[in-house]
Amino acid sequence: MRVEALLNTDSGGCTPDSGRQVEAAIQEHFQPCFKPDALLHEVSEAAPTITYVTTKTLLPTLKTRIAHAKTYAAAHPENSDEDKLMIIGGGDGSLRDAAALLSEHGWSLGVLPMGTINIVARDLCLPLDPVEAVACLAQGVDVPTDLGEINGIPFISHVAVGVHAWVVRHRSLQEKLQKQNRFWAMAKAWLRAFRYAKPLKLLLELDEEAKKIRSPLLIIANNGFSSDSRFLPQRTHLDRGELVVYVVEAETRLRFALMVAAALSGRWSDNPLMKAYSAKKAQITKKGETIRVAMDGDVQRLTLPLTVKSRPQALTLRVPQDWYAKAKSNGHL
């Protein structure tokens, strides 16, 4: 197996100290998997397989590492069929950016939780301590999972329009302008959202069915959230090839606050203020040319209409053995 690791220093959990600890853990658990760099294969010194990047340099560096691996495989045909694992240390946005490229080139994605929310790591029940997560990845299992896609852009967990996109955007602005802690910035953004956010008038098309809705929050999950999920939702299934659309039917601030309180207590599936619909493809239309969309924790402004679909088993994820065994026994894989 060939193993590479990219650690995003822009992520909230990637400090100089944590970076050194993670680097030591990767060296300890994956040392037998390290391969020389293709451009240095005639030199006795191995190329670094742990690379520090920023959000801006993550994708260019990832492309370079994949290209080097291909060159090495061409020079060593005996290794051309080996498994390849790319460990990405960062937040959910870093994972999303890497996922599509890795899926195109046949690499598995190893999730190293070094962000703020770490939704994908929570889906996999990975330890949120990055050093402990490295040990789980070393003993993990590679599993084909679905990717979502919105207007051609891949995502791993979910996308959202309405108040959630508003909250994520304002949280990011507060972090940059006021240098605030991310959790405090998120709390302030939610408080402002209760005051200023307004319901959106949307046309929602699910496969062949169209619905006119008025909602402050619409979430489309790449496979649905567990009924046991609390405020930070977790997905039980990762490979059903379906989208689950959650529509919040709360047009007043009071009803929206009641819905959030119910979600905090774990009432997702039986919440009367939230409707869930399953589909293979969804399209969202509203007045205007663009709309802000939250995708795995980041916000982008996309052109309308929004077209969302599933890419079944497009991404191979390295999952913990315990999670894999439990998912198999429960029929989730």
In a domain, 328, yes or no: no
Residue 104: CATH number of its domain: 3.40.50.10330
Structural domain range at position 241: 155-313
pLDDT in tens, 223-282: 988 876 655 678 888 999 999 999 988 766 777 777 766 665 666 666 777 889 999 999
Q: What is the model's pTM?
A: 0.86
Q: What are phi and psi of 301, to 5 degrees?
A: -95, 120
Q: Which of 24-28, 72-76, 167-171, 212-216 has the lowest mean pLDDT?
A: 167-171
Does residue 222 form part of some domain?
Answer: yes
Residues 6+ apart with CB under 8 A from 306: 150, 151, 161, 283, 284, 285, 291, 293
Examine the domain organization and report whether 254 and 228 are in the same domain. Answer: yes
Same domain, 265 and 175: yes
Same domain (yes/no): 168, 300 = yes
Per-residue pLDDT band at 48 (split at 50, 70, 90)? very low
Flag whether 39 is in a domain: yes
Instruction: Please report whether residue 253 resides in a domain.
Output: yes
Q: Is residue 329 part of a domain?
A: no
On whether residue 327 sits in a domain, the answer given is: no
Question: Does residue 135 sit in the same domain as residue 160?
Answer: no
Q: Closest Cα partner for 217 from 236, 235, 233, 202?
A: 202
Nearest to 306 by CA among 325, 286, 324: 286
Instruction: Looking at the structure, tell me whether residues 189 and 298 fall in a common domain.
Output: yes
Whether residues 172 and 289 share a domain: the answer is: yes
Regarding whether 218 and 265 lie in a shared domain, the answer is yes
For the chain, the domain total comes to: 2
Residues 74 and 176 both lie in one domain:
no
Question: So what's the pLDDT on residue 230?
Answer: 59
Q: pLDDT, tens digit, for every residue of 9-41? A: 998 788 888 889 999 999 888 876 655 544 443
